[in-house]
Amino acid sequence: MPPDEGRHITAHVTATGETAVYIRELAAISGRTPEEIAIQWAAGQVIIPDTPLGVGPEAPEWPVLFDGPADLSERTHEYLQGMGQ
């Protein structure tokens, strides 16, 4: 066995800006540490979007995602009362 095998390997990963925010949020909701997520991100095991979710050319506009009445926010109470009849 070569003399270097069996020794520890230390890796340092630095994430900044929105990437760091995303990693912290992912760690919080998954019950893992930000460091663990950052190591996986550096290894290509975790994909972090280039833009916030819902922003970017691949994200459809809101009306495409919502299949309901256009005035729902103004008339919610009225619509809910109609459901009980």
Burial of residue 23 (number of CB atoms within 10 Å: 0-12, 13-18, 19+): buried
What Cα–Cα distance (Å) separates residue 58 from each residue in 45, 72, 79?
A: 22, 26, 32
The predicted-structure confidence for 14-49, as pLDDT tens digits, reads as follows 999 989 999 999 999 999 999 999 999 999 998 887
Higher pLDDT, 81 or 28: 28
Residue 24: what pLDDT?
94
Predicted local distance difference test score (pLDDT) of residue 30: 93
Q: Residue 32 is which amino acid?
A: R
What local confidence, expressed as pLDDT, does residue 82 receive? 73
pLDDT at residue 2, as a whole number: 59
Tokens in use for 46?
């975790």
Q: What is the DSSP letter of 85?
A: -
CA–CA gap between residue 29 and residue 61 (Å, rounded) = 27
Q: What are the pLDDT digits (tens) for 43-78?
A: 999 888 776 665 666 655 555 556 677 777 788 888
| Residue 75 parent element (H or E) | helix 72-83
